[in-house]
Each structure stands twice: as structure tokens, then as C-alpha cells.
Amino acid sequence: MKKLCMVFTVIFFTACSSDDSPKDYTEENEQEIQAYIAENNLVAESSSSGLYYIIDNPGTGITPTGTDRVKVAYTGYLTDGTIFDENTEGAIFSYVNNLISGFAEGLKYFNEGGSGKLIIPAHLAYGRNSNGIIPAGSVIIFDIELIYVNYDTEIQNYLLDNDLTAQKSASGLYYTIDEEGEGEQPTLTDNVNVSYKGYLTDGTVFDENVAGANFNLGNLIPGFSEGITYFKEGGSGTLFIPADLGYGNSAVDIIPGGSVIIFDVELISVN
């Protein structure tokens, strides 16, 4: 809970206190950034806004726009190394342009799967405002990994191409129910027997068990576990699972990192 609060007060442009002094930190920040780059032997690019950024891995997926939904793993710190916020598993932001301007701009230099560093002067962050332990006029730095951008797009295109209509859950899972079933409906802690076929949006099958396999739903990828709870025994349908509810940016066997995965499922029994 504490970390969640920090995400919304630090990355989003909300100041905790203000200083009405008209001091301009631009020159001071520029000197601080140049000193930090030199001291840490970094090679950084700069934009016309004054943002500095380092691309360790450009990524290979979609490049976000200001209206996109993204998931980003990050560590935020000052030039003296003081960490003021961190989310290494990744936080979801529904609208890039709602973020502080330096962070929002910086994301647009990466594709999905990309990682690097953003060095943000005060005028692209909190200016003359302090925020938590961040002093007024501070240069702030983020090490970031752009985990995904709008996996809705790939799923929606697949649904459109195949003339399908699916429901969407709050988590971002899409699913269709062909048969609801009439038996017991499982919870996320139940043992189940499920017949399934798993494939990518290009049709590549990566796993299949038509006879049915036994699972504890608590041990499966989140999208599969959640999806099965929408059926009763005897029910069947399809789950369209975005990467953040599947395997993220990790490649698993023949499943490329960042993949949307699809399962045709039948819930045989709840044990």
C-alpha cells in the first residue's frame, strides 16, 4: 500500500508542497546532470526539452504514444543515489500523458521490452515544488523497463480479423464463453481438470491436452487462472491473455517474449 501511494505521488504530477519563489533551476540542473554523467562514465542523448536519456535496450515492440496504457518497471532516485520510489515488478499507467512530462517523453524513446535511464531536470518534473523526500528543484533519475504497451491492440485486431466478440475483465483479460456449464464454478484456489489448446495469434500451437489435465488454479499464469473462474463444470470457451497476464517479456519454449497467448478451454471438473 505504501509503495502504491508513492507511485501516484511521485510519477504523477502531484506536488506535496510548494515554494512560490521564482528561482529558475535550469542552469543549475544542467550542471548537475553533466557532472552526474561524467562521474558515472555515461553516454547520454538529450532532447530539445532538456531531457537526457540512455537506451540500454531499445526493445522490439510497440512505441508508446501519449494516450497509451503502459506497464513500466522502474527505480527512481536522486543524483546522490537516494531512492525515492521503486516498482521492479512493474506499475500500470493507463495514460502516458498523465505522467510527469520528463517520464512521459522518455517512454517514447523506447519500444516494448526496452530499458534504459531517464535523467529528468526539474522543469520536466516538479520544478520549484518538493515532493516527499524529493527537494524542490531536483534532478530525478529513473532506471526503466517498458514491459508492455496496449496489448489490447493485438487482441482487438485478432478478434476483428476472426469476427469474434469477447468480454474484457478489469485485469485486461479477454474471454468468450461458448458454454457456461452447469456444475460447480471454481475459485482461484481450487483444483480443476481442464482440456485446453494453447496457441499464438498467428495460429502456432504451443501446448495441447484434449484429454484434460489437473491443475491448482493458484499455480498457473494469472490470465489462465482468472479465465477458468468464469466457467462452471462442463463450460467451454476461449481466453485471450495479454503478456502481462501470461509470460511477460520472457520467452518460454516457442512462445516469444511479450506474446499474447490464446487458450481454447473446457472445464471438465472442479475437484
Number of domains in the chain: 2
Q: Domain range holding 134? A: 2-149
Q: Are residues 140 and 156 in the same domain?
A: no
Write down which residue in 130, 149, 168 finishes a domain.
Answer: 149
> Nine-digit cell at 264?
481454447
Q: Are residues 104 and 199 in the same domain?
A: no
Q: Are residues 12 and 126 in the same domain?
A: yes
The CATH number covering residue 181 comes to 3.10.50.40
Instruction: Dump pLDDT digits (tens) for 78-111.
Output: 999 999 999 998 888 878 999 999 999 999 999 9
Give the span between the Cα atoms of 134 and 128, in whole angstroms: 11
Phi and psi torsions of 69, nearest 5°: -95, 130
Residue 245: pLDDT over 60: yes
Closest among 190, 192, 193, 188 to 173, alpha carbons compared: 188
Write down which residue in 99, 127, 149 finishes a domain.
Answer: 149
> Nine-digit cell at 60?
522490439
Write down which residue in 149, 166, 196 finishes a domain.
Answer: 149
Instruction: Dump pLDDT digits (tens) for 20-59.
Output: 556 899 999 999 999 999 999 999 999 999 999 999 999 9
Give the span between the Cα atoms of 106 and 144, in whole angstroms: 10
Q: Are residues 133 and 10 in the same domain?
A: yes
> Nine-digit cell at 62?
510497440
Residue 92 is given by DSSP the state E
Residue with cell 526493445: 59
Instruction: Dump pLDDT digits (tens) for 156-183.
Output: 889 999 999 999 998 889 999 999 999 9
